[in-house]
A = this chain, B = another copy of it.
Amino acid sequence: MKEKKKQEDATLNEAKTLYGRRTDLALEVRESFPEDDVEIKGVILTKEEVEDKDIMVTTLEIKDKHGETAMGKPMGTYITIEAPRLNEDDETYHRPLSNEVAKYVKKLAGGLENKSVLIVGLGNREVTPDALGPQVVDNLFVTRHLIREFGDEFKEKHQMESVSAISPGVMGQTGMESGEILAGIISETKPDLVIAIDALAARSVERLNRTIQITNTGINPGAGVGNNRKALNKESLGIEVIALGVPTVVDALTIVSDHLENCLAKQGFSEKEIAMFIQETNDTAMRSMFVTPKSIDESIKQISYTISEALNQCFCGCLIS
């Protein structure tokens, strides 16, 4: 009987996906399974609280093909840092948070010593919730040109690694895919590692501007506010790609579908019926719409500052506070 339920779930999940439910957070995919406390084969989940800091870290590992299929996300490690006060202006909260972010970036990279890194600010600087990546890059301390000019002695004296950075813009601005621009820059400047910063879409408005996801799987199609179409990962770029994202929007269709489902479920409709009703409300104008908080400007400013501080301390020993 449970088998039958699972089949129905699969159908339902398919319908959900077809009619616009979308999240870039692996943790939200995991939560969407009804058997919340049952293990999914190939997927390992561990939670850890940062003591006294109101920060929760969840590590989700997708270990094999089965996990990939169940989750709809590529194999790899997904760190989710839930920080309810991420968009508040309180330095005593942001400093330990920066430390956590730095710690997990280093961990996923397998150490950063003597690695040259290219940090990429994805997204559109002109659309507030999509400006996270460019704003992080604006606050970075880049060093590659200094090390090339002043040599290894300078590098060691300041305990710095080689950091370069770029905000390539979005396809509507450049006529090029971010992947093309980055592939070119990588082949020319030969970094060891890419760290890509991007604004993500969550499923729930409660997660917006309160969650940081760090993964060693890179950026995959469908991710981000602006929906990059080409993957940015080891396969496409030839070097490790760590993606660091914060959900800043919910797709409009997702929010509508979720509310419809809740409401109809309360009225006793079956999942099948609900999926059908949702399908009917499908609205093409909504496909290009997103939902974001009115105070998104303050949140982006605060969060981008915290992330750039984390990255600066990853790569420059002299900046560790």
Contact = CB atoms under 8 A, between A and B. Distances in A.
A203 to B, nearest CB: 13
Contacts of A181: 166, 184-185, 188
A143 B173 CA distance: 9
Number of copies: 4
A294 B285 contact: no
B293 A289 contact: yes
Interface residues of A, number: 73
Interface in A166-208: 166-169, 171-177, 180-181, 183-189, 205-206
Nearest to A250: B289
Contacts of A225: 294
Given A127-B128, A292-B290, A295-B288, A176 B266 contact: no
A46 interface: no
Given A174-B142, A288-B295, A167 B165 contact: no
**A130, A267, A296: which has the most chain B beta carbons within 10 Å?**
A296
A277 B267 contact: yes
A143 B171 CA distance: 10
Given A166-B168, A169-B166, A189 B185 contact: no
Interface of A: 89, 91, 124, 126-128, 130, 137-138, 141-146, 162-169, 171-177, 180-181, 183-189, 205-206, 225-226, 250, 252, 255-256, 259-260, 262-264, 266-267, 277-278, 280-281, 283, 285-286, 288-298, 321
